[in-house]
A and B are shown apart, each in its own frame.
Chain A
């Protein structure tokens, strides 16, 4: 074995390790910022034919944004409740007012009253904004359900015939059906939570983008695994993946009866037999794939058929940077040192790898 090569290889590994401080990579999460202004909601957002209703609710959205976001929990309830009371009373007056004489007008007002009770009786948590919706009745496709979608278990629904004439014209705007009319009303009404929706989904976007990037990194950079390794890793990290929320990949990989190719040197073997391509089996191993310098350790057996030397050597393998491996095994009367052929990932032709590796020794 060329001492120069071994010295250079080990120096490279040590240098990489020394440069790793700290070992764990850290990333700072970016804080989500939101501008509580009318201008931050574009005209194409919550687009509706009912412009004045939309405008009123965008103003409410700004007020909620200023009072809810970035404020201490204990202040939120006091600040939000009065705004929500206005949201409910003013919208009720306007929307019910669209249907003078309609058979469902009183029911619509009652629907708002229930919504109003629910959203003005908040006790702390800032998570309580509902949505108006219009949908197809499950029992009769010719009827439309009008309801508020909220956190409350009380969910009254008005069922009206889709072709009710009361919906034909609202504030000079024509509609083909009650479903179409109420869908448009709902868009204008729901604009009152425009900033809130942006804030929540914005927070989620930061977290989910990072998780998705972590998974991409795991697939691309972590050590290659067999299906058995994947199952072992999944099983051992079971608690991590069974959490009630989405997660990034676990920080450790596990290996179980994992075969690999190595190039081994046994100094006490006969001439011409000292260096051989061999199969290594990692019986059990662990790899921390996402450290600043990824590191792994495995218990290994290397098999090679040589005269005068036992076929099986048992020892340890070290993995660095998810790519480079080296180790030591003990055989009767002689030890072997080996390097993984992954070191030759630099070269594209796998058949050449063995020949090129041999020439380095």
Chain B
């Protein structure tokens, strides 16, 4: 029976099917160096997506449209209203901009909407519904969850509410017993649950039931971060638990070190994925791993490594006490790297 893989995307707009395609391409690309050439992860597993991008886009659009209606029809009526006019125009103008394509609107607003508003519970309910349905229909198949970026917060918060020590099959609360309904593996890529926790104040990711074992919800936990991904520099997720492993990726083939596909295609990560989701073993695995690492390192963008390393030294260790601190720090890094990337690409045209 094929294992079931639940994929959960991160912040930003994602088309349905996109994360499955990214995952497949990343694993297959690296797998060529481990197994036979015609390996296809899509044939070995059943992929299920938790797609929440449309929900957040819909909320964002509604906020923007409502504000736009006021802006279009109401601002004329505010002429000469003084301070009131300024306040209303400020509030309305801000929300009317939610439909534009700035990084704030397409990425950060997702984090703010999820973390600071009741719409976060909507996403948690929807994820729990999907997970419960997969457990219900698994019929012996293994269940694995892979989540990236904002998805790590959604998954953590939803599972922290679904798995309950007080779970009782005789009441009407939807819940699962920790230890008895565990998923097989939980993979968090660029885990930002502690950053989002600054906004919503729900269960602390370092103390919740989202851990392994009989007081947890997974048999194994794999935490993957990249040394040069600024999203993992602040409120870094680092929790000691049994049956777990942390991968700290280092290869930089793209300026965007937060990219999900790049996280997956790291040789150590792909090796673990292949061993976990397929029952085929590889001959001479350690030699092949070394060869794969060497091959990927040939495509390193040294300029990106240098600049991100400097940024890491500047920003890591900074005092962080609020979400605004995190936002300001990450934005500063991204803005500086974007500029350098632009210069680099212009020079290398």
Contacts and interface: CB of A to CB of B under 8 A. Distances in A.
A209 B126 CA distance: 9
A153 B214 contact: yes
A208 B79 CA distance: 49
Contacts of A129: 180
A174 interface: no
Interface stretch (A107-115, A132-140, A266-274, A292-300): A132-140
A45 B140 contact: yes
Given A279-B88, A303-B81, A305-B79, A149 B73 contact: no
Given A142-B281, A226-B95, A278 B243 contact: no
Interface stretch (A13-21, A95-103, A236-244, A323-331): A236-244
Given A177-B281, A241-B118, A215 B125 contact: yes
A237 B140 CA distance: 40
Given A187-B140, A203-B169, A259-B91, A245 B175 contact: yes
A179 B278 CA distance: 10
B175 A311 contact: no
B129 A151 contact: no
Nearest to B203: A244
Interface residues of B, number: 84
Nearest to B182: A149
Given A151-B214, A247-B121, A138 B84 contact: no
B219 interface: yes
B103 interface: no
Contacts of B70: 259-261, 279
A163 B119 CA distance: 49
A230 B140 CA distance: 42
Given A131-B180, A207-B173, A279 B74 contact: yes
B125 A208 contact: yes
Interface string A197-239: 1111111110111011001001100001011101101100100
B84 to A, nearest CB: 6
B161 interface: yes
Interface string A112-135: 000000000000011111110101
A20 B272 CA distance: 60
B272 A136 contact: yes
Given A207-B173, A259-B70, A279-B88, A138 B220 contact: yes
Nearest to A198: B136
B118 A249 contact: yes
Contact of B136 (A135, A202, A227, A230): A202
Contacts of A257: 87, 91
A78 B126 CA distance: 38
Interface in A136-188: 136, 138, 141-142, 145, 147, 149-153, 155, 162-163, 176-177, 179-180, 183, 186-187
Nearest to A234: B118
B276 to A, nearest CB: 5
- What secondary structure prevails in chain A residues at the interface with B? mixed
> Which residue, of B178, B219, B245, has the highest number of chain A Cβ atoms within 10 A?
B219
Contacts of B174: 203-204, 207-208, 211, 245-246
A350 B73 contact: yes
A215 B79 contact: no
Contact of B213 (A155, A211, A351): A155
Nearest to A131: B180
B78 A201 contact: no
B346 interface: no
A258 B147 CA distance: 37
B340 interface: no
B139 A127 contact: no
B132 A226 contact: no
B256 interface: no
A142 B282 CA distance: 9
Interface residues of A, number: 92
Interface string B190-203: 00000000000111
B22 interface: no
Nearest to A342: B69
A230 B118 contact: yes
A176 B62 CA distance: 54
Contacts of B66: 224, 226
B225 interface: no
A312 B67 CA distance: 22
A152 B214 contact: yes
B132 A208 contact: yes
A8 interface: no
Contacts of A200: 169, 176-177, 181
Given A136-B276, A242-B202, A230 B78 contact: no
Interface string B240-263: 000111000000000000000000
A198 B135 CA distance: 9
Interface in B85-101: 87-88, 91-92, 94-95
B132 A205 contact: yes
B139 A47 contact: yes
Contacts of B333: none
Contacts of A39: none
Given A259-B91, A277-B77, A303-B78, A212 B182 contact: no
B117 interface: yes
B162 interface: yes
Contacts of B317: none
Contacts of B80: 305, 311
Contact of A246 (B142, B162, B214, B215): B162
> Closest 10 A-B residue pairs measured CB to CB?
A201-B136, A45-B139, A187-B140, A207-B174, A180-B279, A204-B174, A46-B140, A208-B129, A151-B179, A141-B275
Given A153-B215, A226-B95, 10 more contacts: A45-B139, A126-B169, A135-B185, A150-B179, A151-B214, A152-B214, A205-B136, A245-B175, A259-B91, A281-B88
8 contacts: A201-B132, A226-B66, A233-B118, A245-B173, A259-B74, A261-B77, A279-B88, A303-B78
